[in-house]
Chain A
Amino acid sequence: MQSLSKLALVNAKLYIREPAAFFFTLIFPAMLLLLFGAIFGNEPDPAFHSTRGFIDMETPALMAIVIASSAFMGIPIAIASLREHRVLRRLRATPMHPLAFISADLLVNFSMTLMGAMLLILAGFMAFDLQFHGAWLLLLVAFTASALTAFSVGYLIATLSPTARIAQTLGMVLFFPNMFLSGAAFPREMFPESIKRISDLMPMTYMVNLLQAIWFGQPWSEYRTTFIILVLTAMGGLFLAVRHFRWE
């Protein structure tokens, strides 16, 4: 327990000292929101049920980008780099419990991702007349399940990558299509039919849909299946990620 809290504290400091991860998870999504807002405004738009504006749609969608940035860029590069430079080996040469290390890493990444999402939502409320019709607690649960699912993919990428460079490449291969095609960067309502069909293949599409459905207070029956699948994949994914974590 003592080493878990110590590890988490040190990892948090190291995270903040790494400018790229800090920027892309905490600053970039809020910046993107402000930029979109400046371009498109938040006037109710017939494309979005006539009552919602661009920013109303984008805020929950961008939460998925915060998750993807941590999961597909932050985690794989950081872990693969620690393994490549034999930092993980040195940690393994102590009585530290392997689970303590993974838990601390997960905890810090999740906290930063949550913080990035909160900054994003705060920016939306402060700069625009943002609508929210859902339940915050439910949103938090859905966000957590989405994050843990994506993170476990991130740890598996780290396991597959012998070097940080390969982890970065694999991460980008997942990040960019998911970001542009899932409705996270641009609302799906703007896509032509052909792109929508590709979009249906992106795992992140389901996260974006779920976060938006909860955000606008849709009835439970509308997203129940997605919700349950996401919670289950989060648990299964984490189990796989921990089992296959490679120290060298």
Chain B
Amino acid sequence: MVGESHICSAWEEAIVNPVITVENLRKTYESITAVDGISFEVYRGEIFGMVGPNGAGKTTTIECIEGLRAADGGTLRVLGQDPVHNGRAVRQRIGIQLQESNLQPRIRVWEAMALFASFYQQSVDWNALLEQMDLQAHRHVFYEKLSGGQKQRLFIALALINDPDIVFLDELTTGLDPQARLNMWEMVEDIRDRGKTVFLTTHYMEEAERLCDRVAILDQGHIVALDSPANLVKQLDAPLRVEFEPVGPVALGPLQALPTATHVEHHGHRVIAWGKGDPFIVDVVQTLTNQHIRFRHLQVAQPSLEDVFLALTGRRMERGQ
């Protein structure tokens, strides 16, 4: 009986209890309040993202959770423990990729893997990890001779070396070319699919939208929104934008008369129409066909997280840096 209830509660704990709990986290540097009382939870097996412009407080938050910086206020729990007081115990079970760090310039790739593996009570076969990160051919290369992308992959490999329950990735695709970024995204999804929890930060909205199960949008030390990217966009209730280039003259009246349309205007050679809901696209195309208006270069722009940020803060992400 005792054994059974024990198993039951352990199982319940695994699915009900979050792996990370942040309550009212606060951190100030001299005059700057970098993180201003934020709270959220991260659940097992999800990719949780924290997105926001540079200086929003992402690194401060993630490093407090990792136990590398001491918070000025609030409560933190990582895998049920305090990451500062039980720092070394927590770090046995998590993997960390820092936004900015290096290894010894003349350490070889394989030496770094073997050294880091020795820090943990349990570690995976790091040769397989190098294979997976496409670094096997570079195992004898000095760290200083690696390219930016190779260094980044080595840091991911080091973050996975203890088969961690939670992997923390701070700006993992900064400085990567588009192809390398795509590969990195696939790798992160792969980590999640193997049952790990991923906590990542990024200042690229499209990265958060593509990769995260849930995102917290951070701005000036506050969480301004937290949900799945799809829900955030849906709640925004922003209009769809349909653009096309008519061949010959076109009257805007019939388009403006559509019940789903909110606004239609000429923009140089092009016509831009805003409207609500997916039927709007069909309505526009049907109207054009019925009116025998020929068109080319039709584009549909869905609202994105970028629009969510704009709506919530009144600033554009990229320019608001």
Contact = CB atoms under 8 A, between A and B. Distances in A.
A binds B: yes
Interface of A: 2-3, 6-7, 10, 13-14, 17-18, 82, 85-87, 89-90, 92-97
Given A14-B106, A95-B91, A95-B92, A89 B119 contact: no
B102 A90 contact: yes
Contacts, number: 59
B153 to A, nearest CB: 15
B68 A92 contact: yes
A87 B118 contact: no
Contacts of B155: 90
B101 A2 contact: no
B104 interface: yes
Contact of B119 (A18, A82, A85, A95): A95
A14 B101 contact: no
A114 to B, nearest CB: 23
A82 B101 CA distance: 10
B114 A94 contact: no
A5 to B, nearest CB: 8
B103 A90 contact: yes
B3 to A, nearest CB: 31
6 tightest A-B contacts by CB?
A6-B118, A90-B101, A93-B96, A17-B106, A94-B119, A95-B88
Main secondary structure of the interface of A (DSSP, over half): helix
B185 interface: no
Given A7-B115, A13-B111, A18-B106, A94 B91 contact: yes
Contacts of A18: 106
Contacts of A87: 101-104
A93 B83 CA distance: 11
Given A6-B114, A10-B111, A13-B111, A96 B119 contact: yes
B275 to A, nearest CB: 49
B126 interface: no
Interface string B135-156: 0000000000000000000010
B104 A86 contact: no
12 contacts: A2-B118, A3-B115, A7-B118, A17-B106, A82-B104, A86-B98, A87-B101, A90-B103, A93-B91, A93-B101, A94-B120, A95-B92
Interface residues of B, number: 25
Interface of B: 66, 68, 88-89, 91-92, 96, 98, 100-107, 111, 114-116, 118-120, 155, 158
Nearest to A248: B68
Contacts of A14: 104, 106-107
Given A10-B115, A87-B101, A93 B68 contact: yes
Contacts of B158: 90
Which of B66, B68, B104 has the most chain A CB within a 10 Å cutoff? B104
A93 B170 CA distance: 13
A85 B106 CA distance: 13
A96 B152 CA distance: 21
Nearest to B118: A6
B115 A6 contact: yes
A93 B98 contact: yes
Which of B98, B100, B119, B155 has the most chain A CB within a 10 Å cutoff? B119
A14 B120 CA distance: 22
A85 B98 CA distance: 13
Given A82-B104, A86-B101, A95-B88, 7 more contacts: A3-B119, A86-B98, A86-B102, A89-B68, A93-B66, A94-B91, A95-B89
Contacts of B96: 93-94
Contacts of A92: 68
B115 A89 contact: no
A10 B103 CA distance: 12
A165 to B, nearest CB: 16
Contact of B107 (A3, A10, A89, A96): A10
Nearest to A2: B118
A89 B114 CA distance: 18
A10 B104 CA distance: 10
A87 B98 CA distance: 11
A189 to B, nearest CB: 43
Nearest to B93: A95
Contact of A86 (B91, B100, B105): B100
Contacts of A93: 66, 68, 91, 96, 98, 101
A93 B107 CA distance: 18
A89 B88 CA distance: 14
A89 B97 CA distance: 11
A95 B93 CA distance: 9
Contacts of B66: 93
A130 B295 CA distance: 100
Contacts of A7: 115, 118
Contacts of B107: 10, 14
